[in-house]
Structure 1
């Protein structure tokens, strides 16, 4: 299936192609068949990073119960699938893009997925709460067991519901792969208002987007934000020439060179990790995430 690109989104200011139609379907098949030709890969990078961060944080927490992870812009639970299961992103592409003799309904696929994920779940899985404005996607991820809790709420537009506020209270780690730009410091502020102590925050952020407003907010909450300086991470290919030109213009406006990065035809993301100063001193980022 060819990538279904329409116009540029109103949710960004750098002319990113509009994939809104794939994010709120009854099941993930259209999402994966649309993004596979563009070599969408940021969840693959997130899998290694989030696992390393979560395992380090779990060790620092000692004998407490499994970490409470909140995945922002969780969509169909892709990050949760990769964090808590013996799976790769390639496995998910294969599952949802492969032709079948009979095409299952969304309900039938969900039934199959419940077994598929349950038989591949790590024995010591983390608890994952997903937050996304796309209700169908959140419902699917929750129904197949990828999310322990899922909330279809837009924290850019309103305060968290009482149920979400309760689920966020014990948050240890917040993760996000690419949602920053659609969500802003406003969402992070509303999340932090719900927690008893500041969680760690691991965020992949497209280079077209400034993370400064978010990191400033996190600093006021007592978190030190570091950026991984040794590399960037491919997100996906540019959908077309217009998208590429818009992205390069945005990068030029930020004074950033594209050499060895977006010059390869892909969006690139930076990785930011925010933690209390004592945790930064105890485990430097270079040790936590060796190149």
Structure 2
């Protein structure tokens, strides 16, 4: 199938369209062109929750500059939104504007650094560590200043190297916005057991995937997990075929599709996991 912008996409083994081709480019312009076509917005909806989580962690643990490990971070979208007075629409405009189209990678990086400098509205900042299998996406996000450190690894299938362990062991918070399902309890528990003190976690998980195996594994590590109310739109279905496949998956998993899903949107739930002695019952 071809999207309206000409991008070739196919269904992956989960029934979702695969946008893998836009995650390995030298810069994020193809990413924003392709995801903009389907109204990708989950990082925008996650931003206030991530901001509150960082502020609560800072106050609760007395850490002035928490380190956030962002799983499946791609080009550092969550970090960019957190750090900047910007929305997803601003980022779409920033990367698809005529001014951006004529730049080489170095020119685009200079433009991004200026964007970050002029819109930076979080002091003190959190530190962001990006974990992803795409080395080009990580390199760009780091060079632009969105990510402080990066780990290019597949922790589903490999143990972290000594260098990766050293970086990830500094994580105070572990977050994700849509990679669970491709990332499982293997990755999550590997990261959770690296720091001396268990990190807090917040994962936005598409409803077609179950968070239960991760929650169970974290329970064994002394965590408690709760689910925040409400649904969060990730993006529109890219085709009727994709929608049909995902709705069938939901029903097969015993999940009744919501009106938003039958109306054309992939939706996620937010799951909080924290060490049980630091949990609050009013997490939202």
TM-score norm. by structure 2 comes to 0.94
Alignment: residue pair count:
280
Q: CA deviation at 1:161?
A: 1.8
- SS of residue in 2 equivalent to 1:71: strand
Q: Which residue of 2 aligns with 1:105?
A: 104
Residues of 2 paired with 1:3 and 1:197: CA distance?
Answer: 47
Residues of 1 paired with 2:117 and 2:169: CA distance?
Answer: 27
Whether the 8 Å contact between 1:77 and 1:138 is mirrored in structure 2 is yes
User: Is 1:70 equivalent to 2:65 in the alignment?
Assistant: no
Whether the 8 Å contact between 1:3 and 1:35 is mirrored in structure 2 is no
RMSD of equivalent CA atoms: 1.5
- SS of residue in 2 equivalent to 1:119: helix
Whether the 8 Å contact between 2:234 and 2:265 is mirrored in structure 1 is yes
TM-score norm. by structure 1 comes to 0.92
Whether the 8 Å contact between 1:42 and 1:233 is mirrored in structure 2 is yes
Residues of 1 paired with 2:165 and 2:40: CA distance?
Answer: 32
Distance 1:31 1:161, change over 3 A: same
Q: Which residue of 1 aligns with 2:144?
A: 144
| Off by >3 Å, runs of 4+ in structure 1 | none
Give matches, 1:9-24, under 5 Å: 9-10=12-13, 13=14, 15-24=15-24
Whether the 8 Å contact between 1:82 and 1:89 is mirrored in structure 2 is yes
Residues of 2 paired with 1:259 and 1:205: CA distance?
Answer: 15
Question: Which range moved further: 121-130 or 96-105?
Answer: 96-105
Structure 1 unaligned regions, length at least 5: none
Residues of 2 paired with 1:192 and 1:276: CA distance?
Answer: 11
Question: Which range moved further: 99-108 or 65-74?
Answer: 99-108
- SS of residue in 2 equivalent to 1:83: helix
Residues of 2 paired with 1:102 and 1:69: CA distance?
Answer: 31
Q: CA deviation at 1:128?
A: 0.6
Structure 2 unaligned regions, length at least 5: none
Residues of 1 paired with 2:216 and 2:254: CA distance?
Answer: 21
Residues of 1 paired with 2:263 and 2:97: CA distance?
Answer: 28
Q: CA deviation at 1:101?
A: 8.4
Residues of 1 paired with 2:8 and 2:73: CA distance?
Answer: 21
Q: Which residue of 2 aligns with 1:49?
A: 49
